[in-house]
Amino acid sequence: NFDSGTNLLERLLFVNFPTCCRPLNRKDLADIQMPGDRWCLNFGYGYKHSPSKQFLQAALGKASTCFNPARMEFANKDRIALVMIVRDPLAQLQSWKKAPYNLEPCVKRKCRAGEGSCRAAWLSEPCKVKPPELTSAAGLSTGADLGDGCYLGDFSSLPDIWNAYSAGYLGLAKRGGYRRSLLIRFEDLVHDEKSFLKKVADVLQVDVSSSNFSMVTKAAKGHGTAR
């Protein structure tokens, strides 16, 4: 989801667990990537802002407007551990107010003529959200594969967006059919990174000493300023 801590999550995984492939077009991750001698993790990705319920549809083998169920993230799910992150709803709404990204038409709504006050209207107004369409190097839309450019949906309000995404994550954890699933709160991750990394190691069924864990102390995204 938008502003839920995915950049911090990604950096923690790359700096603490050996990965098999060099991340494409991500020098920031390549610079901190841990090499693997005996074993390594092969990461699978979906466009992180795409609807979690559409991801669940593809995981269940059903037709999806955003994902191709034949991709390895779905076809090999019996060998995949799924890690998902959500944020406290009040903190999430405040974050969207600060940096709305594709939710800007919903958050930065202008007052309508004759409207006395619309300071709180951004919380309760209906909202339609579609991210900018991303394309491959060949200029072809990748929406059918990874969720790029997927229409996120019609929502009754900003809190409804949080509810919809979180419901999708819960559905993936309960009935997505993945080998193992881990759903965490951003606040718990920030409060105790070592505890989180131990949970990830347990989900991956790998033996990693917590004394060797590395923490992220700088901004997790290039355009961010907060830790």
**Interval 141-194: pLDDT, tens:** 444 555 666 778 889 998 999 999 999 999 999 999 999 999 999 999 999 988
Spatial neighbors of 116 by CB under 8 A, at least 6 apart, are none
Strand partners, 135: 141
Tens-place pLDDT, residues 89-104: 999 999 888 888 878 8
**Amino acid, res. 174:** K
Strand partners, 81: 180
Is the Cα dihedral 104, 106, 111, 117 positive or negative?
negative
d(CA 122, CA 72): 39
Residue 135, pLDDT score? 44
Whether the pLDDT of residue 48 is over 80: the answer is: no
d(CA 184, CA 86): 6
Separation in Å, CA 175 to CA 60, 100, 168: 8, 31, 10
d(CA 58, CA 82): 14
Residue 16, pLDDT score? 85
d(CA 88, CA 98): 15
**Please, are residues 34 and 198 in contact by the beta-carbon 8 Å criterion?**
no
Residue 221, pLDDT score? 65
Spatial neighbors of 79 by CB under 8 A, at least 6 apart, are 179
Torsion of CA 163, 98, 1, 137, to 10 degrees: 150
Count of H-run helices and E-run strands, the chain: 11, 4
**Reported pTM:** 0.80
